[in-house]
Chain A
Amino acid sequence: MEIHLNGEARSVSAPADMPLLWVLREHLNLTGTKYGCGHGVCGGCMVSIDGAQAHACQTTLADAAGRKIVTIEGQTGPIAEALFAAWLELDVAQCGFCQPAQITSAAVLLNNNPTPSDVDIDEAMKHNLCRCATYQRVRKAIHLAASRVAATAKETA
């Protein structure tokens, strides 16, 4: 089956009903997308599909076919770079297990809403659990990245 993953067409031979999560992890060795519950509740498997937040555990390979999928390994471009930089600057990560999914959700958010309010961040990020409770720094990092992207856009305009 063909999927469009991180900017490339990939051919996968896996059962059509296999969740994308396990296609990524087991067949494609992309282990940045994590298993946390398998029920679409923890958000550890969040990927971007057609530019929206999606649970890889709730998405079968057949669902994903033909769609544009971006995992943490494929997060590139000015928004992703600004997020990674803000995450490092604020030392957001603790155990780090959920952090790729946090950044994926944040990237979807900033792509759709370059200047999110705290309420916007609550709405977008409440689907991503963090047992270490790094939420306050996640919030700050999103604001910081948003301001950097906006400043860069202003400079180049």
Chain B
Amino acid sequence: MSTDAPTQATFVFPAEPNPLAFIRLNADDTVTVISKHMEMGQGVYTGLATLVAEEIDANVAQMRVETAPGQAGHNVLYGNPLMGGIQGTGGQTSMQASYMTMRMAGAAMREMILAAAARRFGVQAQQLSIAHGVVSHVASGRSAGFGALAVDAMAMPVPTNVVPKSAADFTYIGKHFPRVDASDKIHGRTVFTQDLKLPGMLVAVIARPTRPGGKVAAFDATQARQFPGVKYVVQVPSGVAVVADNFWSAYEARDKLQMVWDNGQAEHFSSADIAAQFKSLLDQPGMVALKVGDADAALAASARRLTVDYEVPYTTHATFETLNAVMQVRPGGIELWGGSQIFAIDGNYLAHAAGVPVEKIKLNLLPTGGSFGRRAGPQAIAWLELYSVISALGTELPVKLMYSREDDMGSLGAYHRPGFAHRIEAGLDATGKLVAWKHRLVGQSILAGTVMEQGMVRDGIDWLSVEASADQPYDMPHALLELHSPKLPINVSWLRSSGTFHNGFANESMIDELALAAGADPLAFRLGLLSTEKRERACLELVAAKAGWSQPLPPGAPGTQRGRGIAVVPAHRSYGAAVVEVTVSADQSYTVDRVVCALDCGLVINPDNVVSQMEGGVGFALSMARFSEITFEDGEVQQKFYSDHHITRMHTMPRVECHLVASGEGPSGAGETTAASIAPALANALASATGVRLRKVPLRLPTAPAEEHWDVPAQLNTFKGAPVTANR
């Protein structure tokens, strides 16, 4: 295999090209790309289609994408090399993992197309050219489309030595390629799991105990069974399932169950208890995640010391499409329809529970209405519940399990990004230079107890707890990082930006506090700690230039205070920086006016999609930084709807400006990195505006009015009560 593409370690090469596994030429002149990754909004279908279209010189309009069959084993054909060879989508690995795989597949298919055309025309392949999906022999004027050549091309021997295009010849990579899935999505034609209907399909919802350890003591389903559309009510391990011929009937009938819960063994913890436990652990030495020099001695010798605690709450994915799944169990095996970011995890849990070989589980992977980690591992909980419902019914009909909104966010089937407490002690020397850094953090391990624990938890340290701290970019001659991973009865999971969100918040808030203490400009202070080879440096310089950091911030209206903050965070093999501008009103509420961000994600395949992911990352991170919080009382989640777990809306979305760092590195991811730098940049902006340093997320100024409880808006649904006019 040879290639003229750059060969940095960040390029992941397949052993050999495999065009038939990833590309299908169709007689109708369309080209189908087989995606081994789940499309959840991140644009991976379009990215993969771009790479294939580039190599075979196809038209944008002829590209189609379908998902690969789910494979739950190790080192599978559709595995992700950045996930140890299991099939998976997440951690913004997809384009990095598949870049050369798809280009090599495309380059091989190109040779096969040319070979088929050469035979058809009776000419040498070297005399042929391809443009816009048509193969031409200029001398004879003969030409043929991919559709006409499809059968012959795919029967050609697969070349083992292929040379992908050189970057100078790119027509799509790094340029514009419209989303392949956009038209169906905006017209409401895309079939999500929520929309899937199969013949005879039943729909189940489950009444679950609200507190961990709670159990069903007894129930009376008389009224529920009488509800129109209800077919069955059955007890299952997680509660009581109501099964109907449609969701609404099952959901309404669930409310009519007379449930008696046994809470004798149920948990009583509250968020206040967790905060107290975390606080006490912050006073005790933890497991060492990183040790450079002697931080304690350097602290003792420093001219000035700061000790600061930061806090980030639990929060949840709140995906628009709630968790769901469709399953059919027949003697030959189990067939599934729906989402799964990591089928190897979800599929193996199901295989184990059902006692069937994992090869007997067939997954039809559908696009999902968001995921952000929701369906990475936690998908399995719905599959296990659904299998238990089907087993209880003994049916061979397909059954859909639906989580209602409150089930998705607030039931025992909900998963949460763990809350974290941080304490950072840092020392400056007499010149204001950072000389000592001691960081201790406390929060639940996401990976403990999962099948990924073995690979991603080393010496007790869950990488997801310390990411963006263990690899923080600043020159620190003396640094100590310690972790406590207390076990709590709360389901925890990754969520867009995962550990880089809270580590980024703590680190980059502290750096700003130190800059202030040193009397230094926050940008200059950071640059002074970043050696020239750090990719964070170019991000900071670019974002500062684009934001006009060297110019004073224009003042706001009389009675308001304006501020600007900066932050840079390495996240999931990419690097992101942001400048956030805020205006604080007299009542201490604030608006985020403008966010400028810079991203280094290596080689950029679809620039517009990367920008789209950055814009989305800003909005998503602002939800987490400003509004969203999951709290617990008596073991139960307190925020089960968007009315309490607020997220960014149109009127709270700032103007976002995105800039990409030109990079010669291989492609890395774009979905999560931007989200990591937003909370600290916002806290830094608020501190700059008001002098008040907020160290607890969500970021609310002390005397600000409470967030409104969002309810059905009165100005909507105005037709109710209005007279019905005939003959409209």
Q: Which residues of A contact B (CB under 8 A)?
A: 4, 15, 18-19, 22, 25-26, 29-42, 44, 49-50, 52-55, 58-59, 63, 65-68, 71-73, 84, 87-88, 91-100, 103, 121-123, 125-139
Contact = CB atoms under 8 A, between A and B. Distances in A.
User: Which 5 A-B residue pairs are closest in the complex by CB-CB distance?
Assistant: A32-B188, A133-B619, A96-B185, A97-B369, A95-B41
A93 B712 contact: no
Contact of B178 (A22, A88, A95): A88
A42 B710 CA distance: 10
A54 B719 contact: yes
Interface of B: 40-43, 178-179, 181-192, 194-195, 197, 228, 246-248, 251, 318-322, 367-372, 404-405, 608-609, 612-613, 615-620, 622-623, 641-643, 647-651, 653, 655-656, 710-713, 716-720, 722, 724, 726, 728
Given A32-B189, A72-B187, A100-B186, A94 B42 contact: yes
B320 A40 contact: no
A136 B248 contact: no
Contacts of A39: 405, 641, 643, 712
Contact of B188 (A33, A35, A125, A130): A33
Contact of A72 (B41, B179, B188): B188
B717 A58 contact: yes
Given A19-B248, A41-B643, A44-B320, A93 B718 contact: no
A6 to B, nearest CB: 12
A133 B616 contact: yes
A41 B712 contact: yes
Given A37-B642, A95-B370, 20 more contacts: A22-B246, A26-B246, A26-B247, A26-B248, A31-B194, A41-B711, A63-B719, A84-B187, A91-B179, A91-B182, A96-B367, A100-B187, A126-B650, A129-B320, A131-B620, A135-B619, A135-B649, A135-B650, A136-B619, A137-B612
A26 B617 CA distance: 34
B728 A50 contact: yes
Contacts of B246: 22, 26
Contacts of A125: 650
B650 A52 contact: no
B716 A53 contact: yes
A41 B641 contact: yes
Contacts of A130: 320, 619
B653 A131 contact: no
A44 to B, nearest CB: 6
7 contacts: A18-B248, A49-B717, A88-B183, A91-B608, A121-B650, A132-B620, A133-B618
A73 B186 CA distance: 10
> Which of A84, A88, A91, A95 has the most C-beta atoms of chain B within 10 angstroms of its own C-beta?
A95
A66 B620 CA distance: 40
Nearest to B622: A133
A38 B402 CA distance: 13
A127 B248 contact: no
B65 to A, nearest CB: 14
Contacts of B318: 131
A93 B710 contact: no
B616 A40 contact: no
Contacts of B622: 133
Contacts of A58: 712, 717
A139 to B, nearest CB: 7
B609 A96 contact: no
A45 to B, nearest CB: 11
Nearest to B620: A133
B650 A139 contact: yes
Between A67, A87, A97, the greatest number of chain B beta carbons within 10 A of the residue's beta carbon is seen for A97
